[in-house]
Each structure stands twice: as structure tokens, then as C-alpha cells.
Amino acid sequence: MAKLAQRRLTSAKRGRQFCASWQSFLRTQEATGSFAPQADIGRRSIAGQFPRRDLRPIIELHAIFLVRSEVTNQMRKIAAILVADVVGYSRLAEADEDRTLARLRALRNDLLDPTIAAHDGRVVKRTGDGALVEFRSVVEAVRCAAEMQERMVEWNTGLPHDERIEFRIGIHVGDVVEESDGDLMGDGINIAARLEGLAKPNGICLSGSAYEQVREKLKEQFVDLGEQTLKNIARPVRAYHMLSGAASTEPEVAQGTRVQQDKPSIAVLPFQNMSGDAEQQYLCDGLTEDLITELSRFRQMQVASRNSSSRFRGADVDMKRAGRELSVQYLVEGSVRRMGTRIRITAQLIDATTGNHVWAERYDSLQDEIFDVQDRVVRTIVGTLVGRMTAARTDLVLRKPPASLEAYECVLRGDALPMGTPEIEVEARHYFERAIELDPSYARAYALLSSALEREWFLDMSDSNRLRDEAFEMARKAVALDENDHLCQLVMAWAQVDRGAYEVGEQHFAKAISLNPNHPVNHTDLAMFYNYRGETERAIEGMLEAKRLDPFFNPSWYWGELAAVYFNARRYDDAIANMRRSSSLSFSKQVWFAASYAMAGQPDLARDCVAGLLRRVPQFSTARFVAKEPLFHIEDRQHLAEGMRKAGLPE
């Protein structure tokens, strides 16, 4: 056969007849990593770049080509390819190889093979810890993968994390070569295998070509990972991660609980010294460490340790690769540059899955003052980062069907609802109750359930305090589960204030601030407390401090609460101006809006507000509303009641 190849290659006439198929074969061999050196020589030989003495490896390779193409009848076709691989197989085998192999055999027989067969899949080959499967339909390939991963979650239930068997799955649809024995080769296989490496444990990663064929046919949602450079693949491949309840980012905290899944995760890369001045390196290191420390105060996110991210110091970092290696969704990078007597600090928040910038800012200071303002810069960066991350994650969760939400996502979904009507508060309560059902140890779910119950109680115009008492009980459970979560301390503070325990409530507000001085909500809530206690100047300062921490901080309730402070300060025009800045006022703040118009001498606008209020709550009572507002001073209660009566609200 080698002699036949030599004759054909050295004959220009016959060589041209084989050139097209020969080049195609060379590309396939090179892409899959098989005979790569010979393939490279072969490709260049066709272009006439080698003398005859270099033809020996080409002759050998072409002999293989002839055997495969003329004797074994290769067939080229389009196929949907699924590649699955066990996560951490070496660790499992090292712990107990015989038991691991027995478990894998049982898993294949009882779960994997029946699922593949049900979706008309064909197992092409198995490895010790994985499989290559062919499907005629990419839709069936994705359905099979989703079912496999969902069933794997059930299969692993109750097992310690280090004993679970979890798969990563990659799916691609493309050109493959089938041999006579049924084996497959070619780019299509290689791409699917590389995509499997991008998937999360229990996750599924699709190529762009596979995604385009299933996007309109399946209800599952996907995250665009952008263009990925895959090993031995010449062109970048667009990749998509499938959102499902199966893919995990962290182990379960205890048997019988569900994971608080997909908490935002972030790593702070070492800040770069752009000045070439060794003295500035201390500032770079200090900023990096301070940011990690302050971000770690936020219980709703995972922060990579300094040891994990320090290896990227001084490197030209590929953000998507860094995100994969650190297993985080977001990265912070920054730099310090000296410009004469001034120092410029820049910081950027980057989505590690796409490499896109989410936010960027710069901060200037005199060199002599930099260490004095460093804390302020760190607090501002942290406050803004967390706000941008939370907003990005919430936008993603809002696009998911409610039935597929995990505990953390239920909390995000409920917290994103525009509060202020009985119907919405009930809907929010259901999300938080679902989160608790999924994870009974989730302190933040209890905290937000307490807030929802407290708002329901406030909107209830009856004399019953049942909802208020339930809110207190949920706050108590939240603090018992995690007393170091600032949000748990905040809801306990309000639960105490609503029961008239102002001093105890103030202690919990102070505790929340000490736990996390960087969160804007800690400052707004303390400011509201000051307002109820009649300290309006301190209240205004606290509200403005929240905006200084995060210039993007703009929840719908913020301007209404600031307006209430101005009303209590008898600054009605300022109150009205801030009410108008709100995109959506809660029911209670619409009451203050009506009172502000009335006290500012604008009765027509006050009556318009009242008409809308009474349509929403026909049984509204001024006396009950004022009784529930925790205003400390009797004159402030009388002042609010006066404004409400002037506006035309019923007694």
C-alpha cells in the first residue's frame, strides 16, 4: 500500500486526482491531533514546499489514508455529537478504584444507557470515565443531556459531596467521518470534547451551531459564553451554557438541603502598577487586599481568596480563561498610575463568561493624600461593584421560568418585585417561602420573608397584628441562622421598631452597619429610622451616603423614602421633587405624596393621588395608617395625619 501511495504521489497526473481528498484528510488528522507532524508536512508538500527526500512521512500517512478511504469505505456526514465526562474521576478512583468502577457500571446500566436509548442515541465509544454518543437530531441530544443531568441530581441525593458522580456534557452538531466499524472522527468530535471541558459540573455546554438548531424548539434557557478558542480548532467557536436546575456551583451545605445555587462569584485580580515605581506597588497590593476583604462582607456572593487570584499578577490575563480557572462569574481588575503629583486609580468589573466590561471608573487623588482617601475609594468601588453584579444577575434570573428556580434565584425573583400592593407582597412571600422549602437553612430567605410579611401587615387596614408577629418570628429565625448577615440584622431592627422597641432596633441597625459598612441599604435603612425618630438632618445625610457608596444605586423606593424625610423636615417642595423622581412609588409613599401636595398648597394634585390610592385600597383608614407608621414623636404623627386629611383621605 505504501508503494501504491508513493507511485500516486510522485505521479503529477495521479497526484492531482487525489489532491482534494488528500487535503481534506490532512485537515481532519491535524484537527484531531492524529499524525499532526506528518499532516503538517503533507499539507506543505502539496504546495510544493518540500523536495522528494521529505516525502517518506507523507507516503506513510497517505498509505493510511488509502486504507481508510478505499478499503474501509469511510463515510462523511453531519451528526449531533454528545461527549460526557465524569468530574474529578481521578480523585474518585484514587479513593476507591474498584468501588468507583462498579458504581459507574451500575450507573450506565440503570440510568445512562436507558436514557440514551430513549432519545435514539448511539454510544460510539466509552472511556473509563465518559462516553461519546451520536444522535440523528441535536434536539434529542440536548433533551437526552438535560434528562441525564436531572436524573443524576436524584441519583446523588443524600451522598456526601466527595462521593458524588457528576458529569460535564458538551454538544456539537457538525461534520464527522464514520468508519466501517462505526467509530467517528473529525472536527465535530473534537469540538464537542472541548465544549465538555467548558461546562460546569452537572452542566451542559453547546456550540453555536447546536444552539441555533434548538433555541426555538426547547423551553430551556442559555447563557452566551461568547467566542471560545478551543485546542486544535483553527477558528473560535461560540459556546452556550444551558441553564437548568442541575448545574451546580458549590456543594450542598448539609444533607436534606438544596444548594443556594448560582450565587454571584467574583475574584479580584492583583492591581497593576502602571508607574514603574516600586513604591506604588504597596498601594496596588493594599487596594487588592482591601477590596477582597470588603467584598467578603457581602454574604450573597462568593469571593475568591487572595491566594487563588495572586497567580495572575503581572500577567497579560485572558479574562475568560481566568474566570474558568478561578470558577467565578465576575472579575475585578485595576491599575494605579502616578501622573506628576497625582495618583489615578482605575477599576473595572468584567463578566468572565463573555469578557465584556460591566462597569468601569477612575479615581484621582493627590499623591500626599492617597492613603487618606484609600478607604473611601475602596468603599465606593465595592458598593458599586456589588450593585452592578446584583443587577446583572437579577436580569438573568428574571428571564428564567419560575418553576426552574433554585433557592437563591427565588430570593432574587421575589426581591425584584415592585413592592407596595397586597397582591405583589403575597407573590413575593410565595417566592421566599419556596426558597425556604428548597433550603430550610437559608437565613436570607427568612429575612426577606419577614420584610414581605411586615409590608403585608402595613397594608392591612384591619386591627390585627398577626402578620406583624409572623414577621417578627421570621426575623428571629433569620438572625438565629446567620447573625453575621447584615440583612438579617436589618429585618430584626424593623421587627423591633414596629413593636415599639426603638432602642433594641437601633442596636440591630448599628450591628448591620458594623457587619457591612459598604452596603447602601444599611445606610438608607438607618436613615429611615432616624427620620422616624425625628432626626431629619441625620436621615438626609444617611440617604445621600448610600448614593455616594454606589452612584448607580437607584431602587424604586429610594426617592420615595428620601421624600418622606423631606416631608418630615417640613420641606414639602423637596419632598414633591424627589417623589417625582421615583419610577414606581410604593402604596405607603403615595400616601406621603398626597400629604406633601396638600401641605404645599396643591389640593388638586393631592386629590388625584387620593383617587388612585382609594382605587387600590378602598378600605383605607388615616387613623390606622398613622398608627402603623413608627413615628416616635407625637407632633410628627399629627403632622402626617394633618397632611393626609387635607389631601382628602378618609379618617
Answer whether CATH 1.25.40.10 is correct for domain 400-515. yes
DSSP symbol at 247: -
- Report the pLDDT averaged over residues 547-565: 82
Task: Tell whether the model's pLDDT for residue 245 goes beyond 80.
Answer: no
Answer whether CATH 3.40.50.620 is correct for domain 76-243. no
Measure the CA–CA gap between 55 and 42, rounded to whole angstroms. 8
- Report the pLDDT averaged over residues 192-199: 89
Residue 70 pLDDT level (bands cut at 50, 70, 90): very low
- Report the pLDDT averaged over residues 84-92: 83
pLDDT value at position 399? Answer: 55
Task: Tell whether the model's pLDDT for residue 440 goes beyond 60.
Answer: yes
Q: What are the grid coordinates assigned to 11, written together?
A: 505521479
pLDDT value at position 18? Answer: 47
Topology (CATH) of 265-388: Rossmann fold (3.40.50)
CATH tag for 518-651 (out of 1.10.10.10, 3.40.50.10330, 3.40.50.300, 1.25.40.10) = 1.25.40.10
> What are φ and ψ of residue 171, in 5° steps?
-130, 135
Q: What are the grid coordinates assigned to 433, written together?
A: 417561602
Least confident of 335-344, 481-490, 491-500: 335-344
Q: 529: Cβ–Cβ under 8 A, 6 or more apart, which residues?
A: 493, 497, 505, 506, 509
- Report the pLDDT averaged over residues 526-555: 88
Measure the CA–CA gap between 134 and 79, rounded to whole angstroms. 7
pLDDT value at position 371? Answer: 62
pLDDT value at position 373? Answer: 63
Measure the CA–CA gap between 634 and 532, rounded to whole angstroms. 11
Angle at 241 between CA 238 and CA 246, to 5 degrees: 165
Task: Tell whether the model's pLDDT for residue 256 goes beyond 50.
Answer: no
Q: Is 468 helix (H, G, I), strand (E, B) or coil?
A: helix
Q: Which amino acid is at 305?
A: S
Are 166 and 201 contacting, i.e. CB atoms less than 8 angstroms apart? Answer: yes
pLDDT tens digits along 152-175: 888 888 777 778 888 999 999 988
Q: Residue 1, exposed/middle/buried by CB under 10 A (0-12, 13-18, 19+)?
A: middle
Instruction: Compute CA distances 488 → 200, 366, 420, 451, 542, whole Å.
Output: 31, 39, 21, 10, 20
pLDDT value at position 300? Answer: 67
Say if 265-388 and 518-651 have the same CATH topology: no
Measure the CA–CA gap between 546 and 530, rounded to whole angstroms. 14
- Report the pLDDT averaged over residues 135-141: 93
> Which residue ranges make up each domain of the chain?
2-71, 76-243, 265-388, 400-515, 518-651
Instruction: Compute CA distances 507 → 47, 143, 504, whole Å.
Output: 81, 53, 5
Q: How far is CA 202 from the centre of its chain?
A: 16
Q: 411-434: b or e for each residue (b if 16 or more CB lie within 10 Å)?
A: bbbbbbeebbbeebbeebbebbbb
**Which of the pair, 601 or 19, is modelled with greater confidence?**
601
- The per-residue pLDDT of the chain, averaged, comes to 79
**What percentage of the chain carries pLDDT values higher than 70?**
79
- Report the pLDDT averaged over residues 295-312: 73
Whole-prediction pTM:
0.50
Are 448 and 471 contacting, i.e. CB atoms less than 8 angstroms apart? Answer: no
Residue 314 pLDDT level (bands cut at 50, 70, 90): low
Q: What is the dihedral of CA 296, 415, 347, 271, to 10 degrees?
A: 20
pLDDT value at position 1? Answer: 41
Task: Tell whether the model's pLDDT for residue 67 goes beyond 80.
Answer: no
pLDDT value at position 254? Answer: 29
Residue 12 pLDDT level (bands cut at 50, 70, 90): very low
Measure the CA–CA gap between 38 and 40, rounded to whole angstroms. 5
